[in-house]
Amino acid sequence: MQHLRLRPFPPLLPPGRVLADFCQTYPPQEAQRLLWQLALPVFLDSFETQDAAHTNQLIAFYEGLELLLQAVHHTRQGGGETGPPPTAEAP
């Protein structure tokens, strides 16, 4: 497996700006589609090479990210914490 070098974190921007930029660049369906495309190869590899506990951990993390994406978009669209919950769509 090839190891990737991650670039260092950029200076911290205001969180509202980061969220607004992200939501503008990646609408909800596009963000969910790209997250699935990112996760699918990892899941397939994990099923073949990792134990069930590790695979379950990856799946739980993916599901958490998916909920986070929904919450970010919902909040940015003015739903706030008291608005109706976002609806999940299959990848």
**Distance from C-alpha of 72 to C-alpha of 18, rounded to nearest angstrom:** 11
Give pLDDT tens digits for 30-74: 999 999 999 999 888 887 888 888 888 988 999 999 999 999 999
Nearest CA to 61 among 81, 44, 41, 39?
39
Strands (E), 19-78: none
Indicate the pTM of the whole model.
0.67
**Distance from C-alpha of 73 to C-alpha of 31, rounded to nearest angstrom:** 10
- For range 13-23, the mean pLDDT: 90
**Sequence letter at residue 30:** E
